[in-house]
Chain A
Amino acid sequence: MTMVSPGPVTVPPVAGPPPTDPAPAPRGGRRRRPDDEGGRGIVSPGEWRSPVAGTLLRLAHAVLLIGLLVVGLGPLLWLVKASLSHTQDTLRDPMALFPSGVDWANLATAWSEVHVDLYFFNSMALAAGSWLVQLVVATTGGYALAVLRPRYGPVLYWLVLSTLFVPAVVLLVPLYLTIIDPPLIGVSLVDSFWAVWLPAGANAFNVLLAKRFFDNLPREVFEAARIDGAGPLRVFWSVLLPMSRPILGVISVFAFVTAWKDFLWPLLVLRDPDIQPLSVRLPTLARSIELDVLLAALTISALIPVALFLVFQRTFLRSAGLSGALKG
């Protein structure tokens, strides 16, 4: 495994965001790529100024941007538009802009009459619980493996990482049977949020991220805290966690969005419609409700992840790049 970019995982920050964190590019003006010390890419400044190559490149960039906007943003804008239109308009001329006016009622109908509100909060609860379980498992486990370092640690870490090489489909049926008849508890977890929350914690990628980050924190800090009389719990809570905000952010983003998107697993273990999340309910609703209300429901369920992405853009993109770097 190699790290491609000098991201937050390889450089231990003492507090706050890491120094190598790409600064938000100021609008206009600055021509350098913010995270490139050399300030140049494939194309040299001379080539940028050349009339043929420079023009062609600018043209290619403009075409690319238009293409990206049409393909990436277009469908979502259409969805918002269609969820505010009458069903007949969407069916008759899907590309027209509100030929018979805006229908604001769709969102309200979807929210209250189709009970999207309920499924929305179920999605929220599932995502929040999965996030918490993942965070607890990754931080406590990572702390023990990276800082406390018991003798059996490497074996345990190897066992955790080896699950990365098992395709998820292998787990599907045996995990389902485990949920029906879990060890120790003896009560079926089907139709309980725990059936989604607990398995979410068994995420080796999170443990890997957390351990690698904690490995790179300066050990002297922990030693100093210990000499000052802090126990392992206090070191964990008051020293380690405050220093680990960047990686906690990355894990949180992964955890929340993955849980919000999840479909097959909640479909299998949550059979009671009243506790199903949006992702599971939407395909069923699609068969029984009117198109404009369905599209409004789709807009509502896309809202949270898209809003999270727009707010935490850099964490998202860093996580996406990081996942590639770690896989490589």
Chain B
Amino acid sequence: MLTWIRRGGLSTLLFLLPLVVVFGVFSWWPIVRAAVMSVQQTNLVTAPVFVGWENFETVFTDPLLGTAVRNTAFFALIALVFGYPIPLVAAVLMSEVRRWRGLYSAVAYLPVVVPPVVAVLMWKVFYDPRPEGLFNTVLGWVGIAPQSWLQSADTAMGSLVLEATWAAAGGTVIIYLAALVAVPPELYDAAEVDGASIWRKVWHVTLPQLRGVLLVTLILQIIGTSQVFLEPFLFTGGGPANSTITVLLLIYDYAFSSSLGGDYGAATALSLVLAVFLALLSALYFRLTRSWSTS
């Protein structure tokens, strides 16, 4: 014991203390507790009661679950359609910019630093459904009829995706740019010796070299958009007609909404289901794409 202290064992422990306490109390313990709580009924007043699969039954028999899953999948899908190719095209073009490249990346990244709440409240004004609304004014310039944006169940989710893509695309651009800089220039020299055009160099050298990053950003984007909360919460609160209710909004409502709230068991059960689903999805994804990313 004394030699352990003299060799610095104690001071090492002291240095690790902040990490162990903070992670222990605010990360490891809550993670363990999530698993326990999903099979318990917890109401903060009486002691938790073991209820088996009851919470999961509550979650799976909730008629809103289907809607929430469909909406979340829809959000993730259109977010992918917009948010995946646009940053790639922009980044490939930007990597060829010779002058003021810093300006390009700074402007592209600017929306990412705007606080999300500010962005959403600002876009709410843009989405003003009156013909005098900002977006409707701009649409009017090119002869498109005014849209109802957040007010209609048909366009609400699309409007959410548009704002979310605006807010996130810059980060993806910067990730791609970092990967583009790392492509060895000799590969382009070699391609030119073989007479490759610019287009063929992009297609046969650049994109294959970015394969690893592209694969990872794809699954990370899916994981991120499956947990979309802020946009539906602040833009629409899940409406109109539940057209923008998402899985996270449902979890929030189980636990914290003023009307049904307080069902902590169901909330943790649903969040565990989502986490397990995402883990299985990524495992499957990396299994399926393993052959691409290495060969």
Q: Is the CB of A198 within 8 A of B255?
A: no
- Cα distance A47–B192 in the bound complex, in angstroms: 10
Residues on the A chain within 8 Å of B105, using CB: 317
Q: Is the CB of A156 within 8 A of B178?
A: no
- Report the minimum CB–CB distance from A190 to chain B (whole Å): 12
Residues on the B chain within 8 Å of A16, using CB: none
A44: nearest chain-B partner, CB-CB: B192
- Cα distance A68–B112 in the bound complex, in angstroms: 13
- 11 new A-B contacts at CB < 8 Å, known A71-B111, A75-B126, A170-B271: A42-B206, A43-B96, A44-B188, A68-B90, A72-B107, A75-B166, A167-B274, A169-B248, A178-B25, A182-B25, A279-B116
Q: Is the CB of B111 within 8 A of A75?
A: yes
- Cα distance A66–B34 in the bound complex, in angstroms: 48
Q: Does B229 contact A (CB under 8 A)?
A: yes
Encoded as 1 (CB less than 8 Å from any B CB) or 0, chain A from 57 to 71 comes to 100110011001101
Residues on the A chain within 8 Å of B51, using CB: none
Chain B interface category by residue count: 35 or more
- A residues contacting B by CB (< 8 A) are 2, 4-5, 24-25, 28, 31, 33, 35-36, 38-44, 47, 53, 57, 60-61, 64-65, 68-69, 71-73, 75-76, 78-79, 82, 90-95, 133, 136-137, 140-141, 143-145, 148, 150, 156, 159-160, 163, 165-178, 180, 182-184, 198-199, 201-202, 204, 207, 231-233, 236, 257, 260-261, 263-264, 268, 278-280, 282-283, 286, 291, 294-295, 298, 301-302, 305-306, 308-310, 313, 316-317, 320-325, 327-328
- B residues contacting A by CB (< 8 A) are 8-9, 11-13, 15-20, 22-23, 25-31, 33-34, 37, 42, 44, 90, 92-118, 121-126, 128, 132-134, 137-138, 166, 170-172, 174-182, 184-186, 188-189, 192, 198, 201-202, 205-206, 212-213, 216-217, 220, 223, 227, 229-230, 233-234, 248, 251-252, 255-256, 264, 267-268, 271-272, 274-275, 278-279
- Cα distance A150–B14 in the bound complex, in angstroms: 12
Q: Is the CB of A282 within 8 A of B117?
A: yes
- Cα distance A35–B29 in the bound complex, in angstroms: 44
- Which one of B23, B189, B213 contacts A324 once the chains associate, using CB atoms below 8 Å? B213
Residues on the B chain within 8 Å of A75, using CB: 111, 122-123, 126, 166
Question: Would you call the interface of chain B mostly helix, strand, loop, or mixed?
Answer: helix
- Which one of B16, B34, B116 contacts A170 once the chains associate, using CB atoms below 8 Å? B34
CB contact under 8 A between A294 and B121, given known A170-B34, A236-B15: yes
Q: Is the CB of A232 within 8 A of B15?
A: yes
Question: Would you call the interface of chain A mostly helix, strand, loop, or mixed?
Answer: helix
Q: Is the CB of B11 within 8 A of A324?
A: no
Q: Is the CB of A173 within 8 A of B138?
A: no
- Cα distance A201–B23 in the bound complex, in angstroms: 8
CB contact under 8 A between A42 and B202, given known A75-B126, A92-B132, A175-B26: yes
